[in-house]
Amino acid sequence: MPVPIVLFSFFWLLLPFAAGYAQTTAFEEDFTGAIPPDGPTGWTLGSGWKTGTTSSSSDAGGSGGNNLEHRGSIAANAVTPGFSLGGAGLASLTYLIRRTRTYDRANLRVTASIDGGVTFPIVVLGAGTALPAATGDYRDISVPLPSSVLDQSSVMLRFE
């Protein structure tokens, strides 16, 4: 049986780069606009990726609400629409994710593109760091974005 992981919600957060500046959200996705199994507008989902709502049982991909799910037996990508980080001196990626006990942590990494999705050479989270060590419960993952994506106008994120 294929083993899933579930990405429940993504948030790109621009962090203040000087005291007194407010935090701004550059990109946010909660998957409520998706019509399962398709991705939200602008997303590209490869084979094995789908949106949906699922039960809270221990072997189900998600636990309610809309989510993005990957079946681990199929190597494919989920790519966000393009967005701008122009003017950002600091930024971070934060998402809520759940890993099932049979999904290997090394099966997911996050890369970024600054050329509109032609290439994805920038590693945001390497294999083994994009998923929580613990299984079963949703966990927040948050990481500062590499300086190479800051102040770029055509950023895309790929979960692979």
> What is the domain-level CATH number for residue 132?
2.60.120
Full domain range(s) for residue 36: 4-159
- The amino acid that residue 8 corresponds to is F
E strand or H helix at 50: strand 49-52
Residue 132 DSSP label: -
* Tens of pLDDT, residues 38-94: 988 999 999 888 887 755 544 444 444 578 888 767 778 999 999 999 888 888 898
Q: Name which of 62, 114, 58 is nearest 91 in CA terms.
A: 114
Number of domains in the chain: 1
Largest CA distance in the chain: 51
Q: Is 78 helix (H, G, I), strand (E, B) or coil?
A: strand
Res. 151 pLDDT band, cuts 50 70 90: very high
pLDDT bucket at 99, cuts 50 / 70 / 90: confident
Q: How far is 124 from 127, CA to CA, in rounded Å?
A: 10
- 36 upstream amide cis, omega within 30 of 0: no
Lowest mean pLDDT among 81-85, 97-101, 148-152: 97-101
